Amino acid sequence: MYRYCFLTILSLSVMISSARAQEDLNDLLEKMTKDSARKTGASVVQIETRGGADMVVAGPKGQVFRKALGPTTGVIVSADGYVITSAFNFLNNPPTILVRVAGQQGEPLVATRVATDKSRMLTLIKVDAKGLPVAPVVPKKELAEGQWAIALGRALDFKMDKAPAISVGVISALGRIWGKAIQTDAKISPINYGGPIIDIQGRIQGILIPASPKGDDDTAGLEWYDSGIGFAIPMEDIMAILPRLKEGKDLQRGLLGVNMKSQDIYSVAPEIGAILKASAAEKAGLKVGDLLIEIEGKPVVNMAQVQHILGVKYEGDKISVKYKRGAEVKEIKSLELSAKTIIVAQPFLGILPMRDDPKLGVEIRHVFDKSPAEKAGLKAGDRIMKFGSDDKLTEFTGAKRGRSQFLDWLNTLYPGAEIKLAVKRKGADKLETLTLTLADLPGSMPGAPATVLDKLPLEASFKKALAQLEINDPNIKNPKIVEQAPPEPETGLIEKTTADGQHKYWLWVYPEYDPNIAHSMIVWLHPPDKNSKEELDGWADLWDEYCRKNHIILVMPVEKQGNWLPRDADGVVAAARETVKTYSIDNQRVVAHGMGVGGQMALHLAFNHRDLFKGACAVGATTTGQIKDNVATQRLSFYLAAGSLDPLAKYVSESRVLLADRRYAAFYREMPERGKDYLTAKDIAEAVRWLDTLDQQ
């Protein structure tokens, strides 16, 4: 008993000593953190903007940020008044920029914008001041995962007589955002975008920005704020480009100007699928089919490695490239990268193909008025048998359906390109060779009319989606088809859960579903809290007649938190992919559809999951802040609508123009005398016709 009491007292003594030691350590760490923040705080400024565009961006929770975002943060980088901050702070193009410096009372200093690094999304501003404090910089070679990263911000301290606000975390990864950024788990939000992360000694590690590996537009990464995922540009890199920014010229990301043949950036070799017009790649003589094998002396086996090497480059930087053309290895020793200003535009022949066609070639279902196809005399029922850009025409192989092979080839070209087609006229046996000049996709020119076709032929499919394809290549073997009836898929209103058990969704499959017809698929993003079985059944009932007549399947994911967020995309995508595996779906006619916040989510899905979605139908939602660059091999189309009484109608209309500026096919419908309402029957019919033309060529 005595021994037991002694051991207990000894254990308690050790515990008390340990607890005191822990308290002492915590006190020491707290003191060091505050001291480092105070030490660096003299170089951390507050930035306030006034005026600017009325609307900036739909935010991460669906809300719209209007005008300035409020005070935010910047860092002094030069004693003579230069301050670096996040470009996000100037999205609304404010005419007035005010800077408050620590320890300086009175009116804030008026700043001017000097230049923006549009690759790393940083802006350099200048105030008229001398002798400003500049904090020391952590060399990149000393940065390491696990190091403390203390985020500083100045949002509400208008007297500037306190230390900056502090958020403590660690460096969780290096070389993120394709080699450009440090990742930290410190709490990041718009109030400290442009502020620093510092080490325990008060040295600046980097400048905080919103960023995402999936996009490089002005607001990429905004949806991650307060999530434990934040990014900062290494301060050493910023100081290296500071002289260029001081010259007053914006810095653009350096681009090679190619699209890869495959959308898989990790497990597929980087074979070029398209060369952008007037790009660095075109000027250097690269061609479709070339296989990249080395950049800057570093071997590359996938597109992710290519992006990682090129991600840190600017317009005008020169790189070395080795590539394989056939069996021959070639090298370009000094390829000068071009700017992001290259606009990708997809070409337009002017036809709709017949679907579910197992035969070689492309049979024409419809010819668009005033299109290159109509001017060349093509008609419904004609079949394209060969294609090319010179006298040596390419035959269809049967490795994939003819319309897919033909579209893949068209996507390597551009409006204005001259092509040749060998065509078998309806009812004829001989081939006729035609020469045509490709045009722009309908809806993709901001100053041209953008209207959806009034009428389309009802007959759209040969109803042979499950049939073997005709083969014209001895190296291709058709899979053996066992003669048996396919299993009957479920129809009606079906409740489902994704394979991981995390996400609920509903399907509407009309009872007469035929698996030999490839169907359109609409993924409906319901308005907030409109997610009960009865409400989704009612919406499906509204669409039922259109689904039956036009062969459409509805996917209706359920969101439970009252608002669609970008992080919900994984569940939505999982539901859509599971449906594609179960039913006959035309991969060229899969769209996201929603109203209000659901419409914002539909646009987000279209831009960020192009391998699945080929368009978005958004009602009462704007593209502001979401638009990403067009990609030659990933066509996207947009149908936007708003009630004339909706305060957002003006901005939805402007979104159509902004999309066309990026050469997306985009259409806008304003509904008279309606506010924040859903589509009328007339508008639904038009949206269905838009959906029916997504496989236009």
pLDDT at position 229 over 70: yes
Residue-level length of the chain: 697
Comparing C-alpha atoms, which of 527, 535, 530 is closest to residue 493? 535
pLDDT at position 195 over 90: yes
pLDDT score, position 274: 81
Average pLDDT on 277-282 reads 87
For 681, other C-beta atoms within 10 Å of its C-beta total 10
pLDDT score, position 566: 83
Give the C-alpha separation, 354 to 360, whole Å: 12
Q: Which residue has the tokens 């002005």?
A: 218
pLDDT at position 8 over 50: no
Domains defined for the chain, CATH in brackets: 40-246 (2.40.10.120), 258-336 (2.30.42.10), 347-440 (2.30.42.10), 492-692 (3.40.50.1820)
Query: pLDDT-based confidence at 80, cuts 50/70/90?
Result: very high
pLDDT digits (tens, 9 = 90+) for 134-188: 999 999 999 999 998 999 988 776 677 777 888 888 999 999 988 899 999 888 8
Average pLDDT on 23-35 reads 70
DSSP symbols for 636-657? -EEEEEEETTSTTHHHHHHHHH
Residue with the larger pLDDT of the pair 216 and 31: 31
Mean per-residue pLDDT over the chain, rounded: 87
pLDDT score, position 167: 87
pLDDT score, position 22: 57
CA neighbours within 13 Å on the CB side: how many for 188?
A: 31
Comparing C-alpha atoms, which of 529, 575, 574 is closest to residue 554? 575
Q: Which of 121-125, 307-311, 558-562, 576-580 has the least mean pLDDT? A: 558-562
pLDDT digits (tens, 9 = 90+) for 429-447: 899 999 999 999 999 998 8
pLDDT score, position 216: 57
Which of 122-131, 173-182, 472-481 has maximum average pLDDT?
A: 122-131
Give the C-alpha separation, 231 to 128, whole Å: 30
Q: Kind and range of the H or E element at 5?
A: helix 2-41
Phi, psi (deg, nearest 5) at residue 102: -55, 135
pLDDT at position 226 over 70: no
Which of 4-13, 27-36, 303-312, 683-692 has maximum average pLDDT?
A: 683-692
pLDDT score, position 235: 96
Query: pLDDT-based confidence at 16, cuts 50/70/90?
Result: low
Average pLDDT on 653-657 reads 94
Burial class of residue 502, CB neighbours in 10 A (0-12, 13-18, 19+): exposed
Residue with the larger pLDDT of the pair 177 and 80: 80
3-state SS, 323-391, equals EEECCEEEEEEEEECECCCCCCCCEECCEEECECCCCCCEEEEEECCCCHHHHCCCCCCCEEEEEECCC
Residue with the larger pLDDT of the pair 252 and 54: 252
pLDDT score, position 402: 95
Helices (H), 449-568: 533-550
What is the side-by-side order of every strand in the sheet holding 615-619?
Answer: 492-497, 504-509, 552-557, 519-525, 585-595, 615-619, 637-643, 665-671
Average pLDDT on 46-58 reads 65
pLDDT score, position 343: 79
Query: pLDDT-based confidence at 273, cuts 50/70/90?
Result: confident
Average pLDDT on 353-367 reads 97
Could you tell me the two tokens for 584? 């006959």
Phi, psi (deg, nearest 5) at residue 545: -65, -40
Grouping H, G, I as helix, E, B as strand and the rest as coil, residue 307 is helix
Query: pLDDT-based confidence at 601, cuts 50/70/90?
Result: very high
pLDDT score, position 65: 41
Comparing C-alpha atoms, which of 183, 191, 149 is closest to residue 36? 149
pLDDT score, position 19: 53
pLDDT at position 493 over 80: yes
Q: Kind and range of the H or E element at 599?
A: helix 597-608
Q: What is the pTM of this model?
A: 0.74
Phi, psi (deg, nearest 5) at residue 418: -95, 130
Average pLDDT on 213-236 reads 68
Burial class of residue 134, CB neighbours in 10 A (0-12, 13-18, 19+): middle
pLDDT digits (tens, 9 = 90+) for 533-558: 999 999 999 999 999 999 999 999 99
pLDDT score, position 190: 78
pLDDT score, position 26: 66
pLDDT score, position 548: 96
Residue with the larger pLDDT of the pair 422 and 70: 422
